[in-house]
Amino acid sequence: MFDFLPEKHDKKWFVLALIYSVVVFASIYLCSQFLLSSGLDPKEVPGIAIVSVAISFIICLFGFFNARWLFICSSGGLFLAICMMIMIFLEEGKTGWEDVIGVISFYLMVLLGIGVGIVAELIAFVMRRLGKGGQNRNRLG
C-alpha cells in the first residue's frame, strides 16, 4: 500500500526529513515575513529552524521505524497545519493576534495529525492481529 515510501531503516528517511525541514522552515519564515505586518526578529530565526527540524525529524522517524500510517497521518497534519497558518495570516480584519493564533493552530494541527496517526497505527495493528488469529483458528479446527 505504501510502496512509494522508503523501506524501514532506510537512510532516505533522513533525506526526506531534511526536505520536510526546509519546507516547514520556509513556510513559517515566508508567511511570517510577508503575510504578517510585524515580520520576524532575526533572533527568532534559529528558533524557527530548530522547531522545523524537530517536527520534521520526529515525523520522518515514524516512517523510519515502519509506522507508515503514523507517518502519512502526521504528514497530512503538517500540510493542514501549514495551510491553516497561511489562512489565519491572510485573514481580513487584523486584530494583532494573528501571529500567536497562527503558530498555536500550526502546533495543534501537527499534534492532531500525530494523534490520528497513532489511532490509525493501533487500528492497523489490531487488524493484523485479528487477521493472523483468525487464520490460525481456521487451520487448527
Higher pLDDT, 4 or 55: 55
pLDDT at 136 over 60: no
pLDDT in tens, 13-70: 999 999 999 999 999 998 888 887 667 788 989 999 999 999 999 999 999 999 999 9
pLDDT at 118 over 70: yes
- The contacts of residue 103 (CB under 8 Å, 6+ apart) are 85
Whole-structure pTM value: 0.85
DSSP symbols for 96-131? S-HHHHHHHHHHHHHHHHHHHHHHHHHHHHHHHHHH
Provide the residue ranges of all domains of the chain, joining segments of one domain with +. 12-140
Return the closest-CA partner of residue 49 out of 71, 79, 72, 27: 27
Estimate to the nearest angstrom the gap between the alpha carbon of 140 and the chain centroid: 43
